[in-house]
Amino acid sequence: METGVRLALDPGDARIGVASSDPSGVLATPVETVQRGPGDLDRLAALVDERHATVVYVGLPRSLSGGEGPAATRVRAFAATLAVRVSPVPVRLYDERLSTVTAEAVLRQQGRKGRKRRAVVDQAAAVVILQAVLEAERSTGSAPGEPVTVPTTTPSGTEPQ
């Protein structure tokens, strides 16, 4: 298993929760919530650079049965765009079923209510995703999830056919 900081993202329609691990990959901690819209990819790329991330995990919302709906399609497109932006740092999709539900429950148990909870739930969901990733890495010895491929270009600058 490789060492290095891993980032996890919980992308939603309005916000993107960000969590980071320590370099040894033991503990996931919240970083920030990035507002979706102009500049969101700039901020995420800056976080990858600032934290010297070795991989970025993006939570892929699947249904309980494992299927994918419109939200998963949007996340796949987002992850593909992000992968191009942060290359050569790899981006991987990780099944994030119930991460937000789990994060909400933890925050409720901590006594966070209403607006205060909504302000941090995206970060907390990213922590849930990243902690699951770190546990999967420890148990398998390899990076979990599905790699997002970055299109390669030919010397002329066009994508190969």
Q: Looking at residue 108, what is its pLDDT?
A: 66
List C-alpha distances in Å: 10 to 19, 70, 96, 139, 140.
9, 16, 8, 23, 23
Question: Residue 47 domain-assigned?
Answer: yes
Question: Residue 122 domain-assigned?
Answer: yes
Q: Looking at residue 2, what is its pLDDT?
A: 74
Output the domain CATH number for residue 24. 3.30.420.140
Question: How far apart, in whole angstroms, are the C-alpha atoms of residue 53 and residue 114?
Answer: 32
pLDDT for residue 31 is more than 90: yes
Question: Residue 161 domain-assigned?
Answer: no
Domain count along the chain: 1
pTM: 0.84
Q: Looking at residue 67, what is its pLDDT?
A: 79
Q: Looking at residue 66, what is its pLDDT?
A: 74
Question: Residue 119 domain-assigned?
Answer: yes
pLDDT over 70, % of the chain: 80
Q: Tens digits of per-residue pLDDT, 98-145?
A: 556 566 666 667 666 666 556 677 888 899 999 999 999 999 999 999
Q: Tens digits of per-residue pLDDT, 75-90?
A: 999 999 999 999 999 9
Q: Looking at residue 112, what is its pLDDT?
A: 64
Task: Enter the DSSP assignment of 36.
Answer: S
Q: Looking at residue 156, what is its pLDDT?
A: 56
Q: Looking at residue 65, what is its pLDDT?
A: 73
Which residues span the domain enclosing 97?
Answer: 5-147
pLDDT for residue 97 is more than 80: no
Question: Residue 92 domain-assigned?
Answer: yes
HSE-up of 84 (CA within 13 Å, CB side)? 8
Question: Residue 152 domain-assigned?
Answer: no
78 within 8 A of 36, measured Cβ to Cβ: no
Question: Residue 14 domain-assigned?
Answer: yes
If pLDDT is split at 50, 70 and 90, which confidence band does 161 have? very low
